[in-house]
Amino acid sequence: MQERQASQGVRRAREFEAFVAGAAGRLLHAATLLTAEAPDDNPRACRLLTLSLAHTYACWDRLGGEDPYACARQHMAARFAREAWHQHGLGRGRPTPPGTLAALTPQERLVLVLRLYEGVAEEQAAALLGLPPERVRVICDRAITLLTHPPARPAPAVRGPEVARS
């Protein structure tokens, strides 16, 4: 009995290691985009990824046929949304992060990364974030517009403080 359990543990560890080896790079890139940190200095993204992967590890036996990558991604998105909500207004004095998506708010980053980087369908992203699909589309369009035509619009002047805060 114990022997079987041990061999099961070894198999499980091997499977999980293979999963991490395959998925960690892409997930870390997504996490770095979410936290808008520089690619070579991303402690928050590493922490986010570690916690989501640890959660996936703890759920590994109960996943059944579910995709572990989707599980980790979902947990990461939920955790990031929660953290962004708690830190809303805290980072006022923080310097603007150096990442690609630094000009966007955390919610815009989350929607953009889920929709365009991860390729999650609009309805799924909406269900994951607890928003109506139309709202997800609007946020995504706004983020795309902000990235492709950065300033030179009346809107950024109004959004100025909010952008600096995120």
Partner 1 sequence: MNRVEREAAVRRLLEQTPPQVPAELYADVVRRGGRMLRRRTLARRAMWLLLFAAVVAFTVWALTVRPWVEPPSQTTPPVSDW
Q: Which residues bind partner 1 (CB under 8 A)?
A: 13, 16-17, 20-21, 24-25, 28-29, 32-33, 39-40, 42, 45-46, 49-51, 53-58, 100-101, 112-113, 116-117, 143-145, 147-148
What is residue 62's DSSP assignment? Answer: G
Give the whole-angstrom CA distance, residue 30 versus residue 33: 5
Q: How far is the CB of 83 from partner 1 (least distance, A)?
A: 17
Find the length of the chain. Answer: 166
Q: Is 38 helix (H, G, I), strand (E, B) or coil?
A: strand
Tell me how far, at minimum, the Cβ of 92 lies from partner 1, in Å: 27
Cα(71)–Cα(75) distance, integer angstroms: 6
Q: Which is nearer to partner 1, 101 or 139 (CB)?
A: 101
Nearest distance, CB of residue 3 and partner 1, angstroms? 20
Of 17 and 162, CB closest to partner 1 = 17
Cβ proximity to partner 1: between 58 and 157 the closer is 58
Two tokens, residue 65 = 């046929």
What is the nearest approach in angstroms of partner 1 to the Cβ of residue 32? Answer: 5
- For tokens 């046929």, name the residue: 65
The alpha-helical segments, DSSP class H, found in 2-86 are 2-35, 43-59, 68-86
> Which is closer to partner 1, CB of 81 or CB of 103?
103
